Structure 1
Amino acid sequence: MRFVCNANTDAAGLSVLIDDIKILNTNNPNDVKDNTPTVCDLNITPNPANKEVTLSFPKALYNPEIQVVNVLGTEIFNLKLIGEFNHTPLNIENLDNGVYFIRVNSENTVFQSRLNVIR
């Protein structure tokens, strides 16, 4: 595989960047597969909350990664769990009042929901 990029930069110094390339299945070059993650709703209880919430998934997840993101898109923290989970507690005592988005990534599925923290 070869990537070729010919670009002229202008006075603003614009350039081209290629990032996050994944080559998933090289066994059969005729295989066309959609590897776009499926986004599903995540159940968070209680919501709003102030100390701890329970994240419940519609199916068992293997080695899920949990990300907490603020409304500006900044990742506040992430947590990688090892094993198989249908639900898990999440301590939110260190979060300030506000709205956050919880994303859970597992295999080719992303679960996402909004969390309101009220103290």
Structure 2
Amino acid sequence: MRDYIHVSDLAEAHLAAARRPVEPGGDLTVNIGRGQGVSVRELLTVIAEVTGDHREPLVEPRRAGDAPRAVADVRLAAKELGFGAGRGVREMVESRGRAGACVIPRPRAASHAGHGHLRAMLAGL
């Protein structure tokens, strides 16, 4: 489970931080994300729906040391920056498709550890 964020939302968060008045000793660290977890399977389902490519994903065991869940607590960003991500996973995938052809490469070998195959697929979006 991961907290994916659209690059445009991330840019808006940076702008919100840049506009925030700076006070002496007023450093602020916030988490930027959507505050919602999405599983790899859910992400692949959306990719398949958007691209029409319904290949069965290669499922591999979780890598040792990988956190089972990484979701940002975005409450402080909302409070201090007035920021909230507005784009969902479907819009992320659709906008990437509009930016370039959606080609999802199949991993060449089963040696891709962990989410390497997902990274390859997302890089091709």
Which range, TM-score by smaller chain?
under 0.3
The structure in which a higher percent of residues are helix is 2
TM-score (norm 1): 0.21
Question: Rg larger in 1 or in 2?
Answer: 1
TM-score (norm 2): 0.20
The structure in which a higher percent of residues are strand is 1
